[in-house]
Structure 1
C-alpha cells in the first residue's frame, strides 16, 4: 500500500514536462578498483535498476533519459550505455542487464575526477532532450589524484541547473565521504550516498537512484 501510494503521489506531482530527468551514471574503474570490486559495482548497479521500486519510480515519472560511462585516467572515459529513454519496466530491465554485463575497458589508470566530470558535463550538453533536471551520478572509492580538480571543471563549464551527486564506497577507517561533500558534489539538492564497501553497493545505489528520480518515500521504505 505504501509503495502504491507513493507512486500515485509521484504521478500527480509530475507535471507537464515530457522529460523530468537526464541522468548520467559515471562509474569509477581506476586502479584502486580490482576485478571483483568492478563486478560488484556493475552487478549492484544492474540489480538496483531492475529492482521493483526503481523501475516503477522511473515509469511513474513518465520515463527518464539515462546514459552510463566508466572513467579512470585523463583520457579514459568509455561508454557503457548510450543515451536511452526508459519509460517502461522492460526498457529499464534491458538497460540494467546491459550495464551489468559491460566489459571493463580500463583498469590501470589513476583517478582523474576532473576529467570524468568534464566528460559527464559534455554528455549532458549533448543530451537528446532538454529535461527539467540534469544530474551526474558519480560512483567512486577514492579522491582525485590526477589531472585538474573538480573545482576547475566546474569553473570552466557552464554548470547552471546541473547537479552532481556522489556514491562513495568507503572501506574501514576511511572518510572519503567528507572529500566528496566538500569538493565534489555540486548544484541544486546535491548529496552524498555512502556504501559500506562494494558489497553494499547495490543497496546504496538503489537508495541513491530513488532519491535522484525524486521518490524519497521509496528511499525511506526500502532503506
Structure 2
C-alpha cells in the first residue's frame, strides 16, 4: 500500500512541484576540427541565443519553477570541462550572468584533437543524473563530426540514462548554401543521419542543423525554443 501511494504521488507530480522545470546540459564540441574562430562562435552564439528575447520569454514565461542549465566542452575521451556550473535561470539577471560567463571563457590550451562523442554523452548523463529534482532532464550535444575514439555513442545502454531523459543534438555542417546544389551538403546530411541513428534518444528527441558555425547562434536559438515549447506543452493542464 505504501509503495502504491508513493507511485501515485510521483505520477501526479507536476512541474510546479519540482525544484526546476527542466535541467539542460549543453555539451560543446571543441575537438581538433574546431578552430579558434569557431570556438568563439559556439560560446558567443550560445550566450546570444540564451539572451534572445524569444528564448528569455520561453525560459521565464511560465513564472513557476526555473530552467536549470550547465555547459561543458568536450573533445577526446578524457577531456570534458564544465564551463558553466549548474545555474537556475530564474530571472533576466541570472540569464545575463550565465551569458557573461560564456562570453568571458577563454579557450584552454592543449585540447585533444580527437572526437570522443560517446564520452561526451556519458559526461552529460552523469551531470544530469544529479538533477532528479527537475521535472525533465535534457542533454544537448553539439558536434561537427562522427565519433572516432573511445566508447561509441550507440554502445551506451539505455539503462544508463535517467528515466525519461532526452538526448538532442545540434549538428554543425560546412558553410554552404543549401540552395546552390553544392555537393558538400551531402556531408551534413550524412552527419545528421549519423546523429539520428546513434546519438539522439528518448521521447521526442530531435536534431537541429547549423549550416556552419556562423549559423550556430540561430540554430541554437531554434533548438532552445523547441525544447522549451515541448516542455510547456507537457505542462499544459488536461481539458
- Would the TM-score normalized by the shorter structure come out above 0.5? yes
Distance 2:115 2:43 in 1: 18
For 1:43-82, what aligned pairs fall within 5 Å after superposition?
Answer: 43-61=44-62, 62=64, 63-82=66-85
Distance 2:15 2:115 in 1: 39
Distance 2:101 2:139 in 1: 19
Q: Which runs of 5+ in 1 are unaligned?
A: 1-13, 218-223
| TM-score normalised by the chain length of structure 1 | 0.85
Deviations 1:32-72 (A, max 9, x none): 10111111111111100011111121112332111010000
Q: Is 1:123 aligned to residue 127 of structure 2? A: yes
Higher radius of gyration, 1 or 2 = 2
For 1:1-223, what aligned pairs fall within 5 Å after superposition?
Answer: 16-18=16-18, 19-61=20-62, 62=64, 63-105=66-108, 106-127=110-131, 130-155=133-158, 157-171=160-174, 172=176, 173=184, 174=187, 175=189, 176-214=191-229
| TM-score normalised by the chain length of structure 2 | 0.80
Secondary structure of the corresponding residue to residue 147 of structure 1 = coil
Distance 2:230 2:159 in 1: 32
Any runs of at least 4 consecutive aligned residues in structure 1 with deviations exceeding 4 A, and if so which?
none
Pick closer, same or farther for the CA change 1:215–1:190 going to 2, 3 Å.
Answer: closer
Secondary structure of the corresponding residue to residue 24 of structure 2 = strand
Secondary structure of the corresponding residue to residue 70 of structure 2 = strand
Q: Which runs of 5+ in 2 are unaligned?
A: 1-13, 177-183, 233-239
Aligned length: 203
| Structure 1 position 215, deviation (Å) | 5.9
| Structure 1 position 108, deviation (Å) | 3.4
Indicate the RMSD between aligned Cα atoms, in angstroms. 1.9
